[in-house]
Chains A and B, each alone.
Chain A
Amino acid sequence: MNKKIILTLVIAIMLSSMVFSVSTTRSVNESVEVGKEITIAINLDLEGEDPSSVIVLEKIPENWELVNSNPGATMFEGEMKWLLFGSSLKNQTIEYTLKAPANFDYVSLNGGWKTLVDTGSTTGDEMILKFVPQPETPVGEPMDYTMLIIGAIVLVVIVVIAVVVMKKKKK
């Protein structure tokens, strides 16, 4: 039998028996305060035999500052890239920390991966929203419920009076 036909059959058998995929999934808290740091995790999942290399990419949002990343990223004009090959190419979680700017409402995260012959985008969480902290109660000072209690009593008295007045009127 011709060599190419045999090879074709081999690949066809492999096609049916082997599924290969690269995927990246992002996890991040939904919100962060302005000026605070937030850590983003990218989970790289390889199934089947590994390609020779994978490049994972993430865009750094405008006006946001990269604080650190693990493993270390290579910077390319607003993009972080992790070149993974050899022993570094394995299922793993890549983490990086960003510092939010002084003013923002939301930011979209954008990233993906490349192999020699394929590309894909990162799924999962893709947006960080502004967290607006609620006014804090001063620490150590017990909250003063006096006005609240007085208000509630007044309200109850008014309601009772109203009900009594309405009943009398009906009579």
Chain B
Amino acid sequence: MKKLLIVMLIFLVTISFVNAGLTLVSPQENQLVSIGEELEFEISSDPGDYEFNIVLVKVKCSGDVFWTEVYEHYTQGYVLAFKDTIDLEGVGKNYCDFKVQVVQSGLGEYKSDSATTVVNIEPKDWIETVVTRNMGGSIYPGGWGKVDLVFSPGEGVSYSGLIVNEFLPSEIMDPTEMGEDPVNTYDPNHLIGISNGNFDWDYVDEENKLKFLLMSSSPLIQNTLYYVIQADQNLEPGTEIIFNGLWDVLGVQGEVGGKQVIVVSGDYVLPECPITDQQILEYVNKWSKKELNIDPGENDNIMMQILEVWKNCE
């Protein structure tokens, strides 16, 4: 009788459908990855009786709206441990979310599970400490833009503090000036900010500069400071707005690299106040047809710039 019970128990366990608990073994949180190198990832899961599994890897970097699928693999049977490498060429933009999903099917049922971590994707062949400025290539007269200052601590070094002095061009209104307009202060956290963690900032009037201070009890990892600018309404198309900055970590200093120039665009002239509701509807109609600008990639940006002007009119 005892034997019979044991056999029945084994049978029950065998036919039961167990949902796999998925664990991401690697990459580890905040792991540094260089673009151009392959990234190894490894997952483990509880056993289950599956006919097939699909392993998906997705990446979403700071500034992205959508996840990008960078890997898909089909396996037979259950996935107890799975290890492979993926090529992140063309994906990397510093701070990225990394997600592995497994879709499983067995005994006529479908199940899915996912595990997520964060990786820092560094520029290719990057060795030394740098602060790099990223921003759009152009700005409309009276329009808004965002300036990113990406900090990458060098290979094999660690710092607990960073100072960035950003000397502001006279052609722009910086976030401190935009504070004069109550409408534009809707979101001070988004006028000056950081992609991850905490920081301090100050405006030094004598030098027309923004000073950022980033400190941490643990070694600083790659991070992005940012601020929002607004171009003067009266700027002539073609005007070059030049940015300069200096960074400083313990014993190491340098100039902020990357983009230094924004050109005032003549492609589109933002409307001035007053903007009637009828006009707004016409702009929305043009937006829905991607007819706001000759560059359809600017469609959403121009529509939101117009709405920013419109809201400020009130």
Contact = CB atoms under 8 A, between A and B. Distances in A.
Interface stretch (B26-34, B60-68, B79-87, B152-160): B60-68
Contact of B308 (A53, A113, A120): A53
Interface in B292-314: 300-301, 303-305, 307-308, 310-312
Contacts of B56: 108
Contacts, number: 144
Nearest to A106: B103
Interface stretch (B40-48, B182-190, B244-252): B182-190
Interface in B91-122: 101, 103, 105, 108-112, 114
Interface in A104-147: 105-106, 108, 110-121, 126-127, 129-132, 134
A31 interface: yes
B177 A4 contact: yes
B203 A8 contact: yes
Contacts of B305: 116
A115 to B, nearest CB: 7
A133 B280 CA distance: 49
B187 A20 contact: yes
Interface in B256-314: 280, 284, 287-288, 290, 300-301, 303-305, 307-308, 310-312
Interface stretch (A9-17, A35-43, A94-102): A9-17
A103 interface: no
Contacts of A129: 103, 110-112
B307 A85 contact: yes
A163 B190 contact: no
A74 B65 contact: no
B4 to A, nearest CB: 7
B141 to A, nearest CB: 16
Given A113-B65, A127-B101, A132-B108, A49 B202 contact: no
B89 interface: no
B152 to A, nearest CB: 21
Contacts of A159: 1, 4
B179 interface: yes
A60 interface: no
Contacts of A106: 54, 103, 110, 112
Nearest to B146: A117
Given A105-B54, A110-B67, A117-B146, A15 B110 contact: no
A114 B180 contact: no
Contact of A114 (B175, B183, B300, B308): B300
Contacts of A50: 186
Interface residues on A, range: 35 or more
Contacts of B192: 11, 15
B186 A114 contact: no
Contact of A8 (B1, B176, B189): B176
Interface in A78-92: 81, 83, 85-86
Contacts of B190: 20, 51, 115, 117-118
B236 interface: no
A149 interface: no
A44 interface: no
B186 A57 contact: no
A15 B186 contact: no
A51 B187 contact: yes
A134 B312 CA distance: 59
B203 to A, nearest CB: 5
Interface string A58-81: 010000000000000010100001
Contacts of A20: 186-190
B64 A119 contact: yes
B139 interface: no
B24 interface: no
A79 B142 CA distance: 29
Nearest to A21: B189
24 contacts: A4-B176, A5-B203, A7-B179, A8-B202, A14-B179, A48-B186, A50-B186, A52-B310, A53-B303, A53-B308, A55-B303, A83-B287, A85-B311, A105-B54, A105-B103, A111-B65, A111-B66, A113-B65, A116-B304, A117-B190, A119-B65, A121-B66, A129-B111, A132-B108
Given A48-B186, A53-B308, 7 more contacts: A11-B175, A52-B312, A108-B69, A114-B65, A126-B114, A127-B112, A163-B1
Q: Which 7 A-B pairs have the closest CB atoms?
A: A112-B65, A129-B110, A52-B311, A53-B307, A49-B186, A7-B179, A116-B304
